[in-house]
């Protein structure tokens, strides 16, 4: 497979957790120390890690930067970090803590000019647009609010300003282990060939990853399926060795 597999580490209170459909009440802790999970991913040959600061998403400012710094300094993983990045200062703090890429969602909807300025300042290789979708509309503020924009509208706006990376999460499938919305991601990737559309939400098996790869998707985030053993690190390691 050519698709890049990116494990997800969602953070609450410094711990690695998973939610179901973005519901904070559904929280389940998998690792008290996220570095332990990161080291396992690195050992399996993983190169990128998706880190979401759920505390930060609620607080509107990053809250788990010490976890980011530990993972960034003690592994070779390229960390992409999101959650609560609403200001230039917050963005700078995320990069200072060791993130290779920063994910911005709410600010891109509420302050599109600010996000466009950051895109120009830091470059499209370091900024990722987060497009989280519920019933076709972009959800913001830790998925607690819904905007009037569709995913295609949001991505299209910034693709015209140099965007090359976007993570699209289908909230209805996130943490449900029911399979991804392949048609949604395929359509977006075809509509925006210059933007790498990262699949997020619903991954349940290696077959899902193979199908996304067949459809030409370039990267995918795997969360609950990995922590629940539906997809194993050994399987991922074998895929990476055969790539």
Token pair for residue 71? 């993972």
168 contacts 131 by C-beta, under 8 angstroms? yes
Q: How many CB atoms lie within 10 A of CB 240?
A: 15
Q: How many CB atoms lie within 10 A of CB 235?
A: 16
Specify burial of residue 182 (Cβ count, 10 A radius: 0-12, 13-18, 19+): middle
Pick from 8, 2, 81, 83: nearest CA to 41? 8
**Does the CA dihedral 233-67-19-104 come out positive or negative?**
negative
CA distance linking residue 181 with residue 197, whole number of Å: 13
Q: Name the active-site residue from 53, 55, 132, 174.
A: 132
Specify burial of residue 176 (Cβ count, 10 A radius: 0-12, 13-18, 19+): middle
What Å distances lie between residue 83 and 6, 37, 70, 143, CA to CA?
17, 19, 17, 11
Say how many Å lie between the first and final Cα of the chain, rounded: 5
132 noted as active-site residue: yes
Q: CA dihedral in degrees (219, 223, 226, 230; nearest 10)?
A: -90
- Residues tagged active-site: 10, 132
């Amino acid at each position: 497979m050519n698709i890049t597999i990116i494990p997800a580490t969602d953070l609450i209170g410094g711990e690695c957790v998973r939610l179901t459909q973005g519901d904070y009440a559904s929280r389940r802790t998998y690792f008290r120390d996220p570095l332990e999970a990161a080291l396992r991913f690195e050992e399996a040959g993983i190169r990128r890690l998706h880190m979401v600061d759920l505390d930060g998403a609620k607080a509107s400012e990053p809250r788990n930067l010490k976890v980011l710094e530990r993972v960034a300094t003690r592994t070779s993983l390229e960390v992409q970090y999101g959650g609560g990045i609403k200001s230039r200062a917050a963005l700078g703090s995320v990069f200072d803590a060791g993130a290779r890429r920063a994910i911005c969602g709410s600010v891109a909807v509420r302050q599109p000019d600010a996000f466009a300025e950051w895109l120009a300042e830091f470059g499209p290789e370091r900024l990722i647009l987060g497009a989280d979708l519920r019933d076709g509309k972009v959800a913001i503020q830790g998925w607690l609010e819904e905007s009037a924009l569709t995913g295609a509208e949001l991505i299209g706006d910034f693709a015209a300003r140099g965007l090359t990376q976007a993570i699209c999460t289908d909230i209805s499938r996130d943490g449900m282990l029911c399979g991804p919305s392949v048609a949604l991601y395929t359509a977006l990737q075809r509509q925006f060939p210059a933007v790498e559309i990262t699949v997020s939400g619903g991954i349940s098996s290696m077959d899902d990853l193979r199908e996304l790869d067949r459809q030409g998707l370039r990267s995918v985030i795997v969360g609950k399926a990995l922590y629940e053993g539906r997809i194993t690190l050994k399987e991922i390691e074998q895929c990476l060795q055969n790539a």
